[in-house]
Amino acid sequence: MSFSIDALRAKPDDKINLSKIDTNATPGWDTDDRAGAEARTLELNTELERLQEVMWAQGTKRLLVVLQAMDAGGKDGTIRHVFDGVNPTGVRVASFKKPSERELAHDYLWRIHAEVPGNGEMVIFNRSHYEDVLVVRVFDLVPKQRWKQRYEHIRHFEELLVDEGTTIIKIMLHISKAEQKERLQDRLDKPHKHWKFDVGDLAMRERWDDFMEAFEDAINETSTESAPWYVIPADRKWYRDLAISEIMVQTMAKMDLDFPPSDDLEGITIPD
Ligand code: AMP
Ligand code: MG
């Protein structure tokens, strides 16, 4: 059984309003059927492993997955669960932190372009160029006149990647402010999670509404047919993992993945 990922996709003509999207909902799946969802996610994971192997063997297609969320939104958990078991040879995670001095001395897409997938590769962006219209906008790190122009740059940049053979999936993990509080509290309460706690996250949390507005604009400005955004209700981790696994498998199923031709192997014998 699979569900339509279409309902999660931000259509180019839509104007999404994040406050109207229930972060606790499970569109396409029975909210009480967590066990069924977990079983289905495991099946999808096996299929994802298979598709990724074919993509790597084929060596011509490229896949970029962009993950964005508020702090504690579940980016790390998604990477651990959804991509569990894929062959690390063909898969890479690129995490974008506060830009270094060297990075700041270049345009904001410079460090991004350097990490995009090559032939056969799948790359997961843990944060991305979207930080340059999210945190940068909310904290006035560049003047408005500069970040405003970036939506257009980003549309063009992603179009370039698509035109040159990259498939792009952009995912926003949408959690509620109350859910974030619980998860941050959990990081404080559990010593083995202290390393994840960053006091700086509290300053971001204070600006929650501004971040939601920035996310809405980013999604509305840059969700295109070829580089769509998906907004995933992510308070329930099991639903988040299921939905993203579906998006991965359904997208890859349309990528014309196939093992490379092997007809020139006919007649070869292996010498003793
Ligand atoms: P984390 O992903 O939790 O390790 O945190 C990385 C931090 O780097 C987050 O607070 C991001 O908002 C911040 N960050 C990422 N990219 C940028 C950027 N282009 N400008 C400013 N801060 C950024
Ligand atoms: Mg953090």
Average pLDDT, the chain: 96
Average pLDDT over residues 142-149: 98
- pLDDT band, very low/low/confident/very high, at 267 (cuts 50, 70, 90): confident
Check residue 104 and give left, alpha or beta (phi > 0: left; psi -120 to 50: alpha): alpha
User: What does the pLDDT read at residue 117?
Assistant: 98
Average pLDDT over residues 192-199: 95
pLDDT in tens, 6-43: 999 999 999 999 999 999 999 999 999 999 999 999 99
pLDDT in tens, 81-122: 999 989 999 999 999 999 999 999 999 999 999 999 999 999
DSSP string spanning the chain? ----GGGGEE-TT----GGGS-TT--TTS-TT-HHHHHHHHHHHHHHHHHHHHHHHHH---EEEEEEEESTTSSHHHHHHHHTTT--TTTEEEEE--SPPHHHHTS-TTHHHHTTS--TT-EEEEES-GGGGGTHHHHTTSS-HHHHHHHHHHHHHHHHHHHHTTEEEEEEEEE--HHHHHHHHHHHHH-GGGGGG--THHHHHHHTHHHHHHHHHHHHHHH--SSS-EEEEE-SSHHHHHHHHHHHHHHHHHTS---PPP-GGGTT-----
Tokens, residue 21: 């999207």
Closest atom, ligand 1, to C-alpha of 196: 3
Give the separation between CA 49 and CA 260, rounded to whole angstroms: 17
Tokens, residue 20: 């109207």
Cβ contacts of 124 within 8 Å, gap of 6 or more:
65, 67, 79, 83, 91, 92, 93, 94
pLDDT in tens, 222-264: 999 999 999 999 999 999 999 999 999 999 999 999 999 887 8
Closest atom, ligand 1, to C-alpha of 201: 10
User: What does the pLDDT read at residue 1?
Assistant: 54
Give the separation between CA 139 and CA 124, rounded to whole angstroms: 26
* This prediction's pTM: 0.97
User: What does the pLDDT read at residue 262?
Assistant: 84
Average pLDDT over residues 186-203: 96
Ligand nearest to the CA of 139: 1
User: What does the pLDDT read at residue 266?
Assistant: 84
Give distance in angstroms: CA of 189 to centre of ligand 1.
Answer: 24
pLDDT in tens, 148-168: 999 999 999 999 999 999 999
Ligand nearest to the CA of 97: 1
Residues with CB under 5 Å of ion ligand 2 are 198
Protein residue closest via CA to atom 9 of ligand 1: 97
pLDDT of 124 above 80: yes
Give the separation between CA 252 and CA 36, rounded to whole angstroms: 23
106 Cβ inside 6 Å of ligand 1: no
Protein residue closest via CA to atom 1 of ligand 1: 97
131 Cβ inside 6 Å of ligand 1: yes
98 Cβ inside 6 Å of ligand 1: yes
pLDDT of 3 above 80: no
Residue scoring higher pLDDT (58 or 266): 58
